[in-house]
């Protein structure tokens, strides 16, 4: 293998830049040439790409977002779009592709390999942490820390006014961010799509807390479990407590990556290059029990990733 390409795809995640840096520098270290594809799979189809070198990735390890930019490509969902991209691999002499993104991006990469036989390696990067085959995805740690910082601030004003706050966090169909931020942020209730919840129980717990002299209440809601506004309306209706709703939204996607995300991104990016050099065809890199591991993309896309039920119960116990 002489020339590899890389792209970032799907929703951006803090640490993507650290991963780009690791891929480029590790590849250059081994004497490979690197092509950076811009705007995700759209740039792959439209030949929006250029060579990268050591200085292309200088001063980015600490930056949020992605210098390659990103997109959710509808065109790449079609065989015609993928065929156009394949033409560009021939034109640019690309022999392997590294895709930094989430499950939607990996599905596209897998189809691309199956149709055109060009080796692909996925690096899991999404704040949602919803990718099987890895304990943690790039961006999750930073997003959770961002959510906790917001919860801490909201707690101050909630206490002053003796209010209940509903904080809606991202995560698409999963509750990983909500569970981690809820536990670390000391939330009374955590609503996630993976577990059923009852408004009666949530309201009872809330009232119990206020009767006991609590000055505030924090409820963290994963966007996939329910809309924060709806939760706030229902709680206010049945308890009469002054309830406010904060939707954290895209601010969870921005910001300088945490040390943990930079380290994870560097390790995963470097291993992705090694995998391509060693003849991988359709793999994903991940982390399991602290070790960097490789799994087949098929497994990463078909297995389910479950939340830590013990952690969910613990959060409940600690917020009695």
Nearer to ligand F6P (CB atom), residue 14 or residue 171: 171
Binding-site member from 171, 182, 185, 228 for ligand F6P (CB under 6 A):
171
Give bridge partners of residue 221 from the DSSP assignment: 168, 191
Q: Is 172 in the site for ligand F6P (CB under 6 A)?
A: yes
Known binder of ligand: residue 103? yes
Task: Please tell me what DSSP assigns to residue 256.
Answer: P
**Residues catalogued as catalytic:** 128
Q: What are the tokens at 97?
A: 């592709």
In the complex with ligand F6P, which residue's Cβ is closer, 11 or 119? 11
Q: Which of residues 59-88 bind ligand F6P (CB under 6 A)?
A: none
239 known member of a binding site: no
* Residue 305 in the binding site for ligand F6P (CB under 6 A): no
Q: Helix (H) and strand (E) counts for the chain?
A: 11, 11
- Mark 108-127 with x for binding to ligand F6P (rule: CB under 6 A) and - for no binding: ------------------xx
Reading the block at residue 108, the tokens are 């596209």
Q: How far apart are CA 130 and CA 133, in angstroms?
A: 10
| Distances 118 to 94, 113, 243, 245 between C-alpha atoms, Å | 9, 5, 54, 48
Binding-residue total with ligand F6P (CB under 6 A): 10
Sites for ligand F6P among residues 240-259 (CB under 6 A): 253
SS3 state of residue 299: helix
Cα 245 from chain centre: 23
Please enumerate, by residue number, every residue annotated as part of a binding site for Mg(2+).
103
Interface ranges with ligand F6P (CB under 6 A): 11, 102, 126-128, 170-172, 223, 253
């Amino acid at each position: 293998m002489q020339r590899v390409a890389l792209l970032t795809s799907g929703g951006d995640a803090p640490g993507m830049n650290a991963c780009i840096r690791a891929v480029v520098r590790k590849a250059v270290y081994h004497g490979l040439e690197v092509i950076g594809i811009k705007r995700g799979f759209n740039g792959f189809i439209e030949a929006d790409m250029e060579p990268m070198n050591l200085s292309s990735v200088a001063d980015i390890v600490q930056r949020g977002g992605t210098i390659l930019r990103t997109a959710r490509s509808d065109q790449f969902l079609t065989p015609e779009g993928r065929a156009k991209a394949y033409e560009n691999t021939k034109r640019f002499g690309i022999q392997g592709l590294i895709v930094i993104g989430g499950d939607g991006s990996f599905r596209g990469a897998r189809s691309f390999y199956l149709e055109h036989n060009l080796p692909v390696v996925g690096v899991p990067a999404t704040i949602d942490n919803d990718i099987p085959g890895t304990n943690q995805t790039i961006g999750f740690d930073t997003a959770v820390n961002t959510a906790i910082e917001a919860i801490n601030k909201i707690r101050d004003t909630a206490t002053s006014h003796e209010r209940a706050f509903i904080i809606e966090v991202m995560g698409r169909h999963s509750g990983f961010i909500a569970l981690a931020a809820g536990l670390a942020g000391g939330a009374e209730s955590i609503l996630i799509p993976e577990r059923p919840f009852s408004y009666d129980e949530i309201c009872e717990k809330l009232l119990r807390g206020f009767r006991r002299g609590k000055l505030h209440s924090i409820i963290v809601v994963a966007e996939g479990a329910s809309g924060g506004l709806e939760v706030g309306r229902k709680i206010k209706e049945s308890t009469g407590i002054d309830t406010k709703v904060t939707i954290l939204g895209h601010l969870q996607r921005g910001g300088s990556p945490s040390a943990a995300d930079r380290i994870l991104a560097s390790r995963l990016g470097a291993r992705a290059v090694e995998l391509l050099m060693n003849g991988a065809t359709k793999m994903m890199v991940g982390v399991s029990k602290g070790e960097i591991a490789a799994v087949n993309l098929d497994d990463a896309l078909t297995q389910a990733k479950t939340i830590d039920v013990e952690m969910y119960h613990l959060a409940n116990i600690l917020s009695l």
